[in-house]
Chain A
Amino acid sequence: MLSYTEKIREIAGRLLQSGAVEMVIGFRAGTVPMMNEPHFAKTPADVQKLVWDSHCGINLANYLTDRKEKIGVLAKGCDSRNIVTHIIENKIKREQLVIIGVPCKGMVDKRKIAMKAETEITEVIEAETTITAKGHGFSKTFEKKDVLQHNCSLCIHRNPVIHDEMVAPPVVEQQGVDRYADVRSIAAMTPEQRWKYFEDLLAPCIRCYACRNACPLCYCPTCFVDESRPQWVGKSLDPSDVRTFHFLRAYHCAGRCTDCGACERACPVGINMRTFTKKLEQDCLDLFGWEVGLDPEVRPPLDVYRPQDPNDFIK
């Protein structure tokens, strides 16, 4: 993936120069290790700042919502599926976009690396399949596949599903991935265990809404947690309010979530809220044979009615 940067700059420069787009949305190098910052390029100088490596985990579809101009946007597999969803949900028009596809081998989880390091990581050097983290008197090389974001290790759509340009030939998709092992392990718990598990899971939440705001699906003008008339949810850290927020948000994403991992990546207190969305993803697969974001012509299952929809729940 390291060779992508030059190609990205070449494509971005060409699109801007030809006037095909007014801006190209990508990443620029971050100011701290294992972080890059979403960045828009409008000038040749901006284009030279575009980079690509294993720290481009933020979902760029989030930056397309309701924009009016013509945009070139870098898209990994998950980003591209969220772009499809954005097009279906009228948050951007296909004609506005030049989608620059980025075949992805997974993004690195900086928390995983931090937990395996004995000290603060001050530098990270990336090679094709490995990543070396360095700190004061410390250096350790990891196989990338061992330190991927959890969602990336389960991903079966690494290649963009929709694109106008590609920065490289497609990568080989992962085969035989057990995508729902976590869901099964939670389902196997007793209700008491499960209750405790969710209680512990959400206990650190500070309701900063980083998960919601990093999510391309969460574009409501006023989120239900912010409504005051009627007020659906209290504003304190009362556990029932915190849970209501997370449960309801997950349900709002049912059949729409691409498991891009932006929520989990953004969370400052390390909550794995994908626990919820993953279960709903599996339900949509089992009940409707649905995988989101593969076709701009097909609306998600909870958005349409078909006579053959499962209706066992109606008693």
Chain B
Amino acid sequence: MKMITINKSEWADGLQKAAQAYRLFGPVKEKEFHSFKRLQDGVLPDLACLNTRLSPKHLIYPQSEVMFDYTLDESRADHHILKEAARDDSPQAVVGIRPCDAKAFVLVRMNFDTPEYQDPYWIRAYEATTLVGLGCAAPCSSCFCTTAGCGPYHEEGLDVLLADAGNHYLAKVLTEKGAKFVAAAGWKTAAEPQAADRTIAALKQASESKITSFVQTDNLRSTETTDLHNAAFWEEVSFSCINCGTCTFSCPTCWCFDIQDENRGKAGVRMKNWDSCMYPLFTLHGTGHNPRGTKLHRVRQRFMHKLKYFVDKYDRGIHCVGCGRCVRLCPVNIDIRRVCNMMNNFAASGAACAIE
């Protein structure tokens, strides 16, 4: 594993060089909030950002993505036949992504890249993407990454981990993709590996000690699914929910989508759009029957999916990286940390949920 020193004076120049070979994205502040945007014309990623308002998942998995084109014009030989839409899978790099958001892609991959089926849209975009992460020196009070299988200097999912060491960055090159990016940027000053490791370890420890918020997950796997599903607390947990999609859309790990056709004249597209388990329409049958017809059903589904079904299905921990976005953005303050701990500390009792 290569360790490189990037003097901050070489930073802008390196990114400019990298921009020859990559479409660059990074956190940029617009009005009140930071978000991940294309870095055009030498704009630098704002690395002082605490974290972006919304996650960068859209860079690999756009909220709306055209899969196919078709024509309804019956005078054309190929009418009503779907053809793959043109798309840009040229190399892109996300500079300044947080370790939590990078780890999220590892979790989402389990959904889109399976032994039986591969989602070509997600996979091609993922393969075209290099994640150049910045170790997180100032976690927010709502961050709980260290107990969500992640952490402020977590490396899983990253291609390069940057650590801000004052007048320079230490770049830990973690993958082949990462090595290519660093080479394209022309950063080649080798760092003394042991000293660099010690610096990163110290930064990591300092950052982790600032994290004050935790979840308990140790009992989730051993608790019976149907007991947890039937717990009386779901009424209290779901009461305030307004069933908007803020939690799911801001979440870096939520992956659910809808497929829609849209026509304009005789031409049309079939596209994937983000969807949300919070919406009643998500599960509504054609007959009008809805297996998750109340908000209690839907709130329960969201938490059960993240904190129980996923845990059971993959045995890779919870479907959450502790980024805290849903905690910060929920309009009514439903807090996954509280719910996770309730689920983890649940003991089956006589009291049961009013809704099956």
A residues sitting closer than 8 Å to B (CB atoms) are: 30-32, 35-40, 58, 62-63, 111, 114-115, 120, 122, 136, 206-210, 212-214, 222, 226, 234-238, 265-270
Q: What residues of chain B lie closer than 8 Å to A208, measured between beta carbons?
A: 244-246, 249, 276
Count of chain B residues with a beta carbon within 8 Å of a chain A beta carbon: 41
Q: What residues of chain A lie closer than 8 Å to B328, measured between beta carbons?
A: 32
How far does the alpha carbon of A62 sit from the alpha carbon of B241 in the complex, in Å? 10
- Which residue on chain B has the smallest CB distance to residue A221? B280
Q: What residues of chain B lie closer than 8 Å to A122, measured between beta carbons?
A: 141
| B338 sits at the interface (CB 8 A) | yes
Binds A, one of B84-92, B112-120, B329-337: B329-337
Check if B53 sits within 8 Å of A268, measured CB to CB: yes
Contact with A along B270-312 (1 / 0, CB 8 A): 0101001001110000000000000000000000000000000
Check if B54 sits within 8 Å of A235, measured CB to CB: no
How far does the alpha carbon of A207 sit from the alpha carbon of B280 in the complex, in Å? 15
Check if A209 sits within 8 Å of B331, measured CB to CB: no
Check if B329 sits within 8 Å of A111, measured CB to CB: no
| B240 sits at the interface (CB 8 A) | yes
> Given the interface contacts A30-B333, A37-B332, A122-B141, does A235 sit within 8 Å of B273 by beta carbon?
yes
Q: What residues of chain A lie closer than 8 Å to B236, measured between beta carbons?
A: 40
Check if A237 sits within 8 Å of B141, measured CB to CB: no
Q: What residues of chain A lie closer than 8 Å to B76, measured between beta carbons?
A: none
How far does the alpha carbon of A68 sit from the alpha carbon of B244 in the complex, in Å? 23
Partner of B242 from the list A62, A234, A270 (CB cut-off 8 Å) is A62
Check if A31 sits within 8 Å of B331, measured CB to CB: no
How far does the alpha carbon of A36 sit from the alpha carbon of B32 in the complex, in Å? 22
Q: What residues of chain A lie closer than 8 Å to B246, measured between beta carbons?
A: 208, 210, 266, 268
The 9 residue pairs across chains A and B that have the minimum distance between CB atoms: A266-B331, A236-B64, A210-B244, A208-B245, A38-B240, A213-B242, A37-B333, A35-B333, A31-B335
| B140 sits at the interface (CB 8 A) | yes
Check if A32 sits within 8 Å of B250, measured CB to CB: no
Q: What residues of chain B lie closer than 8 Å to A210, measured between beta carbons?
A: 242, 244-246, 331
Of residues 112 to 164 in B, which have CB atoms within 8 Å of A's CB atoms?
138, 140-142
How far does the alpha carbon of A235 sit from the alpha carbon of B262 in the complex, in Å? 9
- Show 14 A/B contacts (Cβ-Cβ < 8 Å), sorted by A: A31-B333, A32-B333, A58-B240, A63-B240, A115-B32, A206-B54, A208-B245, A208-B276, A213-B244, A214-B332, A236-B64, A236-B273, A266-B244, A270-B32
How far does the alpha carbon of A214 sit from the alpha carbon of B236 in the complex, in Å? 18
Check if B333 sits within 8 Å of A36, measured CB to CB: yes
How far does the alpha carbon of A35 sit from the alpha carbon of B64 in the complex, in Å? 31
Partner of B141 from the list A32, A40, A234, A238 (CB cut-off 8 Å) is A32
Q: What residues of chain B lie closer than 8 Å to A36, measured between beta carbons?
A: 333
Check if A206 sits within 8 Å of B335, measured CB to CB: no
How far does the alpha carbon of A265 sit from the alpha carbon of B242 in the complex, in Å? 13
Given contacts A32-B333, A234-B260, 9 further A-B contacts (CB under 8 A): A32-B141, A38-B239, A39-B239, A58-B331, A210-B242, A235-B260, A236-B64, A237-B63, A266-B332
Check if A237 sits within 8 Å of B50, measured CB to CB: no
- Distance (Å) between the CB of A268 and the closest chain B CB? 4
- Distance (Å) between the CB of B26 and the closest chain A CB? 18
> Given the interface contacts A38-B239, A120-B141, A213-B243, does A32 sit within 8 Å of B335 by beta carbon?
yes
- Distance (Å) between the CB of A207 and the closest chain B CB? 8
> Given the interface contacts A31-B327, A120-B140, A210-B244, does A269 sit within 8 Å of B54 by beta carbon?
yes
How far does the alpha carbon of A206 sit from the alpha carbon of B53 in the complex, in Å? 12
- Distance (Å) between the CB of A291 and the closest chain B CB? 26
- Which residue on chain B has the smallest CB distance to residue A38? B240
Check if B140 sits within 8 Å of A269, measured CB to CB: no
Check if A235 sits within 8 Å of B258, measured CB to CB: yes
Q: What residues of chain B lie closer than 8 Å to A207, measured between beta carbons?
A: 245
How far does the alpha carbon of A62 sit from the alpha carbon of B141 in the complex, in Å? 30
- Distance (Å) between the CB of A309 and the closest chain B CB? 34
Q: What residues of chain B lie closer than 8 Å to A266, measured between beta carbons?
A: 242, 244, 246, 331-332
- Distance (Å) between the CB of A57 and the closest chain B CB? 9
Check if A40 sits within 8 Å of B244, measured CB to CB: no
Q: What residues of chain A lie closer than 8 Å to B239, measured between beta carbons?
A: 38-40, 63
| B33 sits at the interface (CB 8 A) | yes
How far does the alpha carbon of A40 sit from the alpha carbon of B337 in the complex, in Å? 20
How far does the alpha carbon of A270 sit from the alpha carbon of B30 in the complex, in Å? 11
| B313 sits at the interface (CB 8 A) | no
Partner of B33 from the list A35, A222, A265, A270 (CB cut-off 8 Å) is A270
- Which residue on chain B has the smallest CB distance to residue A31? B335
| B198 sits at the interface (CB 8 A) | no
Of residues 224 to 276 in B, which have CB atoms within 8 Å of A's CB atoms?
236, 239-240, 242-246, 249-250, 258, 260, 262, 271, 273, 276
| B316 sits at the interface (CB 8 A) | no
How far does the alpha carbon of A236 sit from the alpha carbon of B271 in the complex, in Å? 8
